[in-house]
């Protein structure tokens, strides 16, 4: 009866006894519609976020949501006596849009899911939906997710982590590009397979940046990468410089991808460690996530080679990169060291690169190279204590 009341006579035998008004159990249609809109069609239980306007298997459109009362319709129901009862149990403030599983969870275990907790989840979810839907087309970002096993460990990159990381932009999940080497465990880190994998990456990125692609229409790309450093550098090399991009870092302390706003400013130091003979090899050490010793370099980098380094004004370590502004500052250090190498040696064919860097700096390093203005790169990686040549970028 959509929120109207129905009549029920008192148990008194008098024909003049008062009429008791009992609230209808039917939630008004307008309230149901408004709740679905405020929830964005998604389950409001914290951590679920399931899309409820499409069947998860057949993908047919429909209303697959349930509407749950935070404070039960009746006093003896779930959370029915938790503080003052709402004047109207069907008020939208007392309702949550939930998937069937989460609805059953909160009603079967009311002591584990208290009223204040559910009210907070509802408020947070609906505020997030409102914030995201306020963003215009200029705030959209296409997605590139590139991942490979590191030391045999697989790392998941969830949609929730992506949404939080790219704010205030809005991620376009449909049509995102995902390069997942997880099914090639071991292959991604084996030197003979690196050129083959690099070729596969090149093909996928060529499709992503092609004229007329979704990336060209959206006009911005957010890149989430966690993989062996040589492959990340190659990924950056393949990316276009014609579309603005942001790169993201997985932080070890919070295990998410959102850039921090706190922490000391990072200062990069560019230095020439040794000026060798003309025509001999030139090495570049990227001593950021860890220190690289000249004595640990392979035999082809001998005493006649020139050695340059980008390092920090502090002891290098894996957690130094916290803020996006410090990632952006690496561009200046890159241009400075390239300028120093070209000033000393001219536009030589290759520089041997020995990287100990976070993932986003590896991607940025590859993308910042200018093919006509900078030497090519021969990328090495440290494996079992030794630096091993991996791939060539030119």
Quote the distance between the C-alpha of residue 135 and its chain's center. 18
C-alpha 8/C-alpha 310 separation (Å) is 82
Whether residues 149 and 121 share a domain: the answer is no
Domain boundary residue among 103, 133, 163? 133
Q: What is the pLDDT of residue 14?
A: 43
Question: Are the C-beta atoms of residues 337 and 284 closer than 8 Å to each other?
Answer: yes
Residue with tokens 């309230």: 31
Cα radius of gyration rounded to whole Å, the chain: 29
Q: Is 202 helix (H, G, I), strand (E, B) or coil?
A: helix
Residue 346 lies in a domain: yes
- Cα separation values, 315 from 261, 291, 307, 318, 384, Å: 21, 8, 19, 10, 23
Helix and strand numbers (H, E) in the chain are 9, 15
Whether residues 272 and 206 share a domain: the answer is no
C-alpha 264/C-alpha 377 separation (Å) is 31
Whether residues 273 and 371 share a domain: the answer is yes
C-alpha 134/C-alpha 123 separation (Å) is 17
Task: Read off the pLDDT band of 23 (50, 70, 90).
Answer: low
Whether residues 60 and 126 share a domain: the answer is yes
Which has the closest alpha carbon to 391: 190, 222, 98, 245?
190
Residue with tokens 């997985």: 250
Domain boundary residue among 133, 155, 184? 133
Residue 261 lies in a domain: no
Whether residues 290 and 387 share a domain: the answer is yes
Q: What is the pLDDT of residue 137?
A: 62
C-alpha 363/C-alpha 221 separation (Å) is 13
Whether residues 382 and 284 share a domain: the answer is yes
Whether residues 330 and 230 share a domain: the answer is no
Q: What is the pLDDT of residue 357?
A: 98
Question: Are the C-beta atoms of residues 208 and 177 closer than 8 Å to each other?
Answer: yes
Share of the chain above pLDDT 70, in %: 90
Q: What is the per-residue DSSP string for 164-190?
A: HHHTTSEE--TT-EEEE-GGGTTGGGS
Q: What is the pLDDT of residue 67?
A: 96
CATH number of the domain within which 177 lies? 3.40.50
Residue 257 lies in a domain: no
148 burial class (0-12, 13-18, 19+ CB within 10 angstroms)? buried
The mean of the pLDDT values for the chain is: 89
Return the number of other C-beta atoms located less than 10 Å from residue 62's C-beta. 10
Q: Give the range among 3-7, 27-31, 218-222, 226-230 with minimum mean pLDDT.
A: 3-7
Which residues contact residue 342 at a Cβ distance below 8 angstroms, ignoring those fewer than 6 apart?
Answer: 374, 375
Q: What is the pLDDT of residue 183?
A: 65
Which residues contact residue 109 at a Cβ distance below 8 angstroms, ignoring those fewer than 6 apart?
Answer: none
Domain count, the chain: 3
- pLDDT per position as a tens digit, 292-329: 999 999 999 999 999 999 999 999 999 999 999 999 99
**pTM for this predicted structure:** 0.68
- pLDDT per position as a tens digit, 104-154: 999 999 999 999 999 999 999 999 898 777 766 678 899 999 998 766 777
**Greater model confidence, 378 or 139:** 378
- pLDDT per position as a tens digit, 180-238: 887 654 444 444 478 888 998 999 999 999 988 889 889 999 999 999 999 999 999 99
Whether residues 61 and 85 share a domain: the answer is yes
Beta strands (DSSP E) in 275-358 are 282-287, 306-312, 350-356
Q: What are phi and psi of 260, to 5 degrees?
A: -85, 160
Range of the domain at 225: 143-248
């Amino acid at each position: 009866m959509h929120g109207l009341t129905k009549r029920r006579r008192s148990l008194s035998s008098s024909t003049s006894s008062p009429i008791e008004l009992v609230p209808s159990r039917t939630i008004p249609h307008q309230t149901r519609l408004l709740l679905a809109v405020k929830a964005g069609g998604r389950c409001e239980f914290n951590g679920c976020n399931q899309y409820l306007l499409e069947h998860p298997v057949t993908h047919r459109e429909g209303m697959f949501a349930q509407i749950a009362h935070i404070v039960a319709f009746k006093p003896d129901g779930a959370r029915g006596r938790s503080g003052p009862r709402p004047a109207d149990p069907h008020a939208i403030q007392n309702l949550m849009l939930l998937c069937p599983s989460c609805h059953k969870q909160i009603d079967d275990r009311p002591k584990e899911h208290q009223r204040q907790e559910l009210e907070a989840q509802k408020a947070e979810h609906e505020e997030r939906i409102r914030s995201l839907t306020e963003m215009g087309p200029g705030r959209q970002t296409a997605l590139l997710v590139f991942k490979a096993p590191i030391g045999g460990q697989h790392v998941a990159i969830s949609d929730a982590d992506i949404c939080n990381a790219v704010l205030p932009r809005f991620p376009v999940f449909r049509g995102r590009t995902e390069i997942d080497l997880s099914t090639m465990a071991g292959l991604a880190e084996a030197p003979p397979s690196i050129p083959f994998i690099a070729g596969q990456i090149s093909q996928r990125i060529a499709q992503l940046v092609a004229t007329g692609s979704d990336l060209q229409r959206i006009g911005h790309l957010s890149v989430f990468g966690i993989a062996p450093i040589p492959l990340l550098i190659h990924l950056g090399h393949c990316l276009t410089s014609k579309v603005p991009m942001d790169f993201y870092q997985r932080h070890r302390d919070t295990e998410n991808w959102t850039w921090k706003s706190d922490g000391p400013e990072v200062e990069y130091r560019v230095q020439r460690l040794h000026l060798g003979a003309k025509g001999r090899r030139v090495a570049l050490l990227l001593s950021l996530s860890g220190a690289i010793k000249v004595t640990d370099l392979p035999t082809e980098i001998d005493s006649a080679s020139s050695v340059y380094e980008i390092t920090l004004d502090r002891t290098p370590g894996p957690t130094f990169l916290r803020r996006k502004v410090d990632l952006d500052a690496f561009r200046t250090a890159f241009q400075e060291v390239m300028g120093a190498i070209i000033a000393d040696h001219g536009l030589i064919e290759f520089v041997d690169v020995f990287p100990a860097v976070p993932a986003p700096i590896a991607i940025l390093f590859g993308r910042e190279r200018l093919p006509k203005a900078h030497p090519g790169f021969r990328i090495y990686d440290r494996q079992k204590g030794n630096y091993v040549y991996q791939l060539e970028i030119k």
